[in-house]
Amino acid sequence: MPLFWRIFLLNAVVLTAATALLLGPVTVSTPVLLTEAAVLTAGLAAMLIANGVLLRVGLGPLQRLTRAMTTTDLLRPGARPAVAGQGEIAELITTFNAMLDRLEAERALSAARALSAQEAERHRIAQELHDEVGQTLTAVLLELKRVADHAPPALREDLHQVQETTRAGLDEIRRIARRLRPGVLEELGLASALKALTNEFTGPALTVRHHIDADLPLLSRDTELVLYRVAQEGLTNAVRHAGADRVDLTLTHTSAGVELSVSDDGDGIHGAPEGAGISGMRERALLIGAGLSLGPGPERGTEVRLVVPTPHESD
């Protein structure tokens, strides 16, 4: 029975019973007697309690649905309010769950297209940096060397300094190109790419250690790319925001699947809102059906954990 008719009929029954009592055994005198006032008060209380119970029972699923609407996050899919209640309330919750299914599917598809376009653009920019800017700077270095060989001794030292500056700029261009397009990932595989990534981030102020299992299962190209990008973003956040001295990167094969962990000994999150980098990691995780969690590290600091179910573990 629809909610409207349930509430209407209950009110009709209560009011009909009250009217029948007033027309029958219950009368009201003027002035009102104490016993009559007590009977009327008890009847009013019974009416209010009956209406309150019905509204609480009938509208309870709507309150749970409201909470679900305010807390739903498409980057954390799967949570659904339980279908409860009767009539149009159950139908409303079912429709809301179907809408979430459709939104999550559409978001996953649009995110896949966006990230695919992003990777293609990264590839194009890296190629142009390598082919255009890199070759131009290489030609400049050769020309500077030729000029320095024929320059007067007083000018030769300045030209050598310009050479070193140009060479440093060329190295930075190559480093940026490697980050945009991890060629080592395509050529040597995920383990070698992650080791190269940790070496790239290691410096005088930061030590990056890695532990990568040797018995990793065969992963798809998209899965390897997501693992690499999440590790890259985790290391970048540790360098930029954590104030860490040490970062540990681990890639292990567990009963849950392939597990990537990037943990630092920095300052921690402390309730800071998630930025675009973390949202990007969550979207990448959704593309391969992986679970991403962000929280305190084993000792202190922050840990980014990505669990990728492999076909054997998901069966």
Going by the DSSP 8-state scheme, the letter that residue 213 receives in this structure is -
Predicted pLDDT of residue 315: 46
The CATH number assigned to the domain with range 185-315 reads 3.30.565.10
Residue 198 to residue 217: CA distance in whole angstroms = 21
Rg of the chain on CA atoms, in Å = 34
Predicted pLDDT of residue 251: 92
Predicted pLDDT of residue 106: 79
Kindly list the averaged pLDDT for each block of 10 residues, start to end, along the chain of length 315: 68 73 63 70 76 72 78 70 73 83 78 75 78 83 83 82 87 79 77 87 83 87 87 85 83 89 80 71 82 80 87 53
Predicted pLDDT of residue 30: 64
Residue 120 to residue 113: CA distance in whole angstroms = 11
* Residue 204 neighbours by CB under 8 Å, 6+ apart: none
* Residues forming CATH 3.30.565.10 domain(s) in the chain: 185-315
